[in-house]
Structure 1
């Protein structure tokens, strides 16, 4: 409650008689966390480990038409859960995704003649272009790579050539297929790891009753701190397995070859806790059970048939008519190099030749200093679906802060909840944040929704800094309420001078 018109942030501690008055004030709204229910099922019996041959050959091929259950309308509805507005762009990508599924259903030779519906997104920074493409790739469970057009140079110049885009896509496809096959084989992997750990703890000459007792303890996590001696590869795959980005596969392959050259890579015995041994053994068993040949075959097929390439900032390699022959003349050379990849060609990679005929290309750019018509005519023709994304308004910013399932305010609340702080915003505060974001974008550089991140971080920086001292482990959550006056007070100094805001917001 406010009295005498003064601004006050009420931080209400559940601990008796304790109050804390911060050096700043707030108020605002945070939608209550959504109650989610999840059904869990456990297998009655654990399957026995599969042999390497049977698992490698019996694993089902990846479902390249995973989006078959999603109609364009359903795709848009799923995108609406994470992205506000931009209905035209969502509709375009939903149609493109469904068209790929339809092509899989068409019989040859017509299927090979159907080309993907490549898309050109035109819109200002921070309006959702990249997020739409990223979410689309997740929905389709398809290989995805995002590149910036400015990173590439014309063939013959120092820099990356455009063929590396496809190599990166194939590397990402390999990682994706490996993870998918590992999930499908998880039951067999768990069973094999369980047997190895129990055998390492007890040895082989024990009664079945003893093994059963230890098996129950293992499944109940009662052996996590026991020390066990196991054989693991001296250079386990998990060291490089975390490099999900393009290049991780190439690095791992190089390390394996060096190890073989110098006679390394053999199994070695190590003593560690059961909890530490489990992930190492899981990786070792996965390498045995998942065939690298099957992974490579399915990865190339997934990249060729369902790969999605997102080329951001394509306008940066486009020169207006008056500047076409200036200092940036090589930009048209990059367009020429991109043209054969987008229209369909074969790219040589270390894993073999990869066709780009049926990959989906989504290009985006703001086109502030040039127009889409300034692109090479041939390249324009290979991006037939054009979508214009609109700049974000105050109402859009308010929706971004309240509608998505994992909006920024809920993320901040979740982070502070780990410290025992219950952060809430009033609706008036949320609207003030939205108004400020629109004002700063209009008066300084327009960075779209990214402006909300800088504003919210400025607002919560004090409570975030002081949170560990505000509560202790035995207290109930302390409530921090943020209102409109608190937003105004926190940001007024920054908005007095646009020059200062330019550097801070």
Structure 2
């Protein structure tokens, strides 16, 4: 330490919001402590450990003999760019810079105040504006989120530690699982990371490590560790990491991933890479505490209804208490009768299920719900197309019968609400192509015959008597 001036160890004021990163070991100052800044090298940061290690190497060898007979071409075969050497600190990507934690005397009002957390009925009312149906699921999620952030705001209550309530969402594809979580995070104004469980593998194998889900949350929080520790992580396609059946190979993307997620779900301190999904020598690491992170896992769980049906019809088929084998064939919401035993039979290990205490089932969409999804939400699909044509000063309207036909076509595709946009895009293509050709078009009405391919849309030119408002136009 005697070979350099200790006064050079100070925090740079150029970027006070971000932590310094050691140029040699790539660790942030929250790991290394204060760093040495070299003014002649554009304030390049080097931690004390790396500096002392360099001095020990130099003191332990004959530096003159080492350099004797060597020229600059030997040291830098590709040439030496002094501009690059002077801007070494600027070479660290911004996405790998951590925001500094506020000091105790600088901390302001906490982000979550128990009086400012929206009550469950308020959360559900806000979700109703964007998500159609799924009342039971929205109520359960609103209560779980409200209790979770009360726990974050108070930390303890009369010395009784409140445990975290992670959520497992089960529902068919296209029923609104991801959209529900996105809307929830937007209403709460908290960082949200949406990740896919299909890319996760056991440590040491090709694919994303378990910690990558937390790394994505850190990126969503703009590398602010304090904000990330209060965020929401939504792991989609969680059913894809079910335990593989009838296999002798190592299950590196199934049961092993479930076991790796156990500590994250429960709450622990994990080291995650900053600005990357995998750990390597050139990426700084930061410690994240997952105790206050809300985990929501969702999946379609295909064939789970068969497991539930088999359990419900397992009684004797002979006698007064006999169960008909086809009794539940027409039950669209049979998944709502799921139990922990059914999830275990599907391939989820008991330890994993135990860390997701709240199980929410979403029902499949019927015809009426499809029609409501088309026209009722704030950002309904039909409203989007009406706004597009309104920019061309054209009024777009839909008959109620036409909406029913669109809903029937979407149900036939069996992909949930995702099918609605593809169907509308198909029959709106010609309309959106032809309308800009004629400035005299005032109103376009989509009819049932046009959706079925048996007719054309009704077009009203400007200056003609206006058509009566459709129900959609009044919404």
What is the TM-score with the length of structure 1 in the denominator? Answer: 0.56
Q: How far does the alpha carbon of each residue in 1:171-226 deviate from its partner, in whole angstroms, 9 at most, with x for none?
A: 2112xxxxxxxxxxxxxxxxxxxxxxxxxxxxxxxxxxxxxxxxxxxxxxxxxxxx
Please give the residue correspondences for 1:85-96 in structure 2 after superposition, counting only pairs within 5 Å.
85-96=133-144
Determine helix, strand or coil for the equivalent of 1:423.
strand
Determine helix, strand or coil for the equivalent of 1:466.
helix
Separation (CA, whole Å) in 1 of partners of 2:157 and 2:256:
34
- The answer to whether the Cα contact below 8 Å between 1:103 and 1:111 also exists between their aligned partners in 2 is no
- Unpaired stretches in structure 1, ≥5 consecutive residues: 1-51, 175-295, 492-505
Cα RMSD for the two superposed structures: 2.7
Equivalent position to 2:188, from 140, 146, 161: 140
1:68 aligns with 2:41: no
Determine helix, strand or coil for the equivalent of 2:221.
helix
Q: How far does the alpha carbon of each residue in 1:381-430 deviate from its partner, in whole angstroms, 9 at most, with x for none?
A: 00010011111111110110121111000101111222232211111111
Please give the residue correspondences for 1:325-336 in structure 2 after superposition, counting only pairs within 5 Å.
325=248, 330-336=253-259
1:356 aligns with 2:279: no
Deviates more, 1:328-337 or 1:117-126: 328-337
Determine helix, strand or coil for the equivalent of 2:296.
strand
Q: How far does the alpha carbon of each residue in 1:63-120 deviate from its partner, in whole angstroms, 9 at most, with x for none?
A: 2348835210111111011111111221121012211232245464767832221111
Determine helix, strand or coil for the equivalent of 2:201.
coil
Determine helix, strand or coil for the equivalent of 1:480.
strand
1:488 aligns with 2:456: no
- Unpaired stretches in structure 2, ≥5 consecutive residues: 1-15, 18-101, 273-283, 305-341, 456-475
Equivalent position to 1:463, from 417, 431, 451: 431
Q: How far does the alpha carbon of each residue in 1:12-38 deviate from its partner, in whole angstroms, 9 at most, with x for none?
A: xxxxxxxxxxxxxxxxxxxxxxxxxxx
Instruction: Provide the residue aligned with 1:343 in structure 2.
Output: 266
Separation (CA, whole Å) in 1 of partners of 2:110 and 2:435:
47
- The answer to whether the Cα contact below 8 Å between 1:416 and 1:422 also exists between their aligned partners in 2 is yes
Distance 1:122-1:463 versus aligned 2 partners, 3 A rule: same
Instruction: Provide the residue aligned with 1:150 in structure 2.
Output: 198
Determine helix, strand or coil for the equivalent of 1:142.
coil
Instruction: Provide the residue aligned with 2:175 in structure 1.
Output: 127
- The answer to whether the Cα contact below 8 Å between 2:167 and 2:357 also exists between their aligned partners in 1 is yes
Distance 1:393-1:463 versus aligned 2 partners, 3 A rule: same
- Report which of the two has the higher share of helix: 1
- The answer to whether the Cα contact below 8 Å between 1:145 and 1:168 also exists between their aligned partners in 2 is yes
Instruction: Provide the residue aligned with 1:77 in structure 2.
Output: 125
- The answer to whether the Cα contact below 8 Å between 1:104 and 1:111 also exists between their aligned partners in 2 is no
Rg larger for: 2
Q: How far does the alpha carbon of each residue in 1:240-283 deviate from its partner, in whole angstroms, 9 at most, with x for none?
A: xxxxxxxxxxxxxxxxxxxxxxxxxxxxxxxxxxxxxxxxxxxx
Separation (CA, whole Å) in 2 of partners of 1:65 and 1:165:
27
Instruction: Provide the residue aligned with 2:209 in structure 1.
Output: 161
- The answer to whether the Cα contact below 8 Å between 1:68 and 1:98 also exists between their aligned partners in 2 is no
Instruction: Provide the residue aligned with 2:419 in structure 1.
Output: 451
Distance 1:426-1:311 versus aligned 2 partners, 3 A rule: same
